Amino acid sequence: MMQTVFIGLGSNLNNPQQQVLQAIAKLQSLARSSFICASSLYLTPPWGIEDQPPFINAVIKIHTQLEPLALLDELLAIEVAQGRVRDIRYGPRIIDCDILLYGDKQIVTERLSVPHPYLDKRSFVVIPLFEIAPKLILPSGLALAEVVEQFQNEKIEKLTLLSEEIL
């Protein structure tokens, strides 16, 4: 069955904007999936460890027939292909691909938690997600529009790109 999935992307190393665009390009040809749209790219301050370069973040929407763990494996393969090394939690990274929402499913396994456990606590996720899904109701029952209000004063810069850079 086809599921609507939102995926968060982020990078702050090795030309972060290009890293995010490269991941989006790979996700556009994901097996058993249809790419729906991508948010703008956002320049955001680091979260967790503050002494690192700012991030470029985006959120994409896909429809997929991949099961959650199979999708996770595909995202991890994209990270590895782009040179991601997992060494410092919340530290600098070439690319990060996170399943934010997988339909209305709630999943808690050793490998995957959906909705993403920090989804509503991170402006760099909430703001781009709101851009592409302003009427979204989170599995908790809370409207995304209500969540986004708490981030009105965040220092997040929406970047302008030529539309063909994402296509």
Active site residues: 84, 93, 96, 98
Both tokens assigned to 167: 């296509």
Eight-class DSSP state of 86? -
Q: Are 55 and 10 in contact, with CB atoms under 8 Å apart?
A: yes
Instruction: State the angle between helix axes of 68-81 and 16-27 in degrees (0 to 180), rounded to the nearest 10.
Output: 140
Phi first, then psi, for residue 94 (nearest 5°) are -70, -45
Query: What length does the chain have?
Result: 167
Q: Are 56 and 11 in contact, with CB atoms under 8 Å apart?
A: yes
